[in-house]
Structure 1
């Protein structure tokens, strides 16, 4: 099947690359308006560049020291009140801000969900764990969305998180570590819970140890109170699918609602871009899961 034919097929299913360029920003706010914790001014100026990846051009955001939230609301006629904080991937060194960020917000809008793209701090900070600064950003981001829920027309009990690759790990850390704030409260916003109500992890990285690939990374503490999670991975991904499998197993062991899809082929980093591999049908599967759990109304 040619790529062109496959793209036409996906278009008929409503799954082709969505026009992120047509998205309208509802609002954009600083995650830390009174100062970013721990920042020392050592990061070069923020920049955005284009790169060829998987045969297509993608946008790469580098050197983020001032995290922001960009809110994209759906058409009022479709709006379900559900919102999702989106965490692009990039190995905690850059952010794949387009095909794992704004394009995802466009898809979420198409199913009546508000997409909230989180621009979190990259690259990794010296002398810190890879996810330390981003975890502060994502915990604060969820609290921000919940704090402003009524004002923004959002249901404070249906705030999810969705991440790709390193952003998948960050989302997993937010889903399992919400009971341990990673920073000292700075204002009234931090009184709002940073617990996501559900999670979507697409080819998540860093979920298991490198040696055995059988133990969850120590920062991931799954309990019976962990929110429900939807996972997708390809077996030929350079990031081992065992991470998603192990995470799913622990969710099951703790009685947490979860759904896992492992596809034989598809690789890594596809975002929402169509390909000849069925793994890129994941948005349709995810929408069905959101409906089956009652997060989205049928």
Structure 2
């Protein structure tokens, strides 16, 4: 049984007790104490939502993150203190479908105070097998031809933030909701939003220019986190694992990926920061490729290439330009 599904409900009986206890310095300790000084308490379920809330809210908000630095957000389990923090927040920001424990806790403790960003993100991409059982790319086939091959059931790709323009849409939704919760500072939220989306627009332009002339447009990644980035900048993602990096690929899948990589002259296999690079290294060894880091920015740690979203995206661009032979 999935412990993530049990974590939040099991904690609910302890919410009242936990909410009255002293803070321990964790990310959830802002709580009601912050509200007393006039700031808005915001709980974000993982880093990109935390970052957007901080950039837009500025000095008017206290933002905490349910996913601790270094933790993999897909597998988040909530403690009783986390659930208590969620129940006390003025606003909870999450993405339904990404973290099942958060979905359950929001539904049980804070449904009227929560913002689900999935709608604003326009999760239009469905993840499925990029290559078929024969190891060939079927992306250019007609629907009838494609149906003749074996493909896994698709699921919506939640990694919207790797497309800066989708991230900007989500940021707009966060600013709108903050303005509703705290109308006295709505003008400040709008001004901060304008500045933040300006940085995201500049980042989009930098990515578009940097990836325009790549010799090889196929990126082989550890897990299927880069679909929106690939779609925006006309790359082709081939993922070793699925939407969760914890999925263990079968040996046959690894062989298919290796065959595909060789056929398409892939020279770089991309690993990431929060999970083991072992699988990417296995494919690289099989194909004679090198490895490089492509960060899905699900969290910022000391191992991250920069200290914030824009900086890590710029590091990703540098890695892609080198790995894909871009001018």
So what's the TM-score if we normalise by structure 1?
0.33
Tell which structure's C-alpha radius of gyration is larger: 2
Structure having the larger proportion of residues in helix: 2
TM-score by length of 2: 0.31
More strand by share: 1
